[in-house]
Amino acid sequence: MGVQMSVAIRNAMLDGIETITGTSPILKVRTGPKPANCAAADAGSVLATVNLPADWMNAAALGQKTKSGTWQDLIADDTGEAGHFRIYQSDGVTCTFQGSYGEVGTDMIGDSVEFNAGQTFTVITFTLIAGNA
């Protein structure tokens, strides 16, 4: 048995993520595996910091929500191999969600996994998908 939700409910849930996170959140790409949850302390070193656009996600459709605008850091913070990301409210402290970062098969895909301090970095793909269809 399992609860099933309409597309309208799934879309509303996804749009709520953007509402709670707020406008102009901050994305940090970090080394190593993600922490156990968003309440846990930050882990790994920060490789890139991106100030996301005010309207940083497209409206949810068909139970999915995709990034909006360009997510780019013109000067990467540090050198290392990326493993996870966290998105914070605009205060840069309150983590609202996190996930794996890398290549195909990860939650967020960027144009680089190996970072060098000072390089340009761009997120290519990021999609949230609501379950329980």
Specify the length of the chain in residues.
133
- Collapse the DSSP code of 28 into the 3-class scheme (helix H, G, I; strand E, B; otherwise coil) and give the result: strand
DSSP assignment letter at 110: E
The two three-digit tokens of residue 45, written as one number: 């070193």
Spatial separation of the C-alpha atoms in residues 16 and 130, rounded to whole Å: 12
- Average pLDDT value over all residues in the chain: 95
**Does 131 have pLDDT greater than 90?**
no
Query: Per-residue confidence at 1, pLDDT binned at 50, 70, 90?
Result: low
**Does 16 have pLDDT greater than 80?**
yes
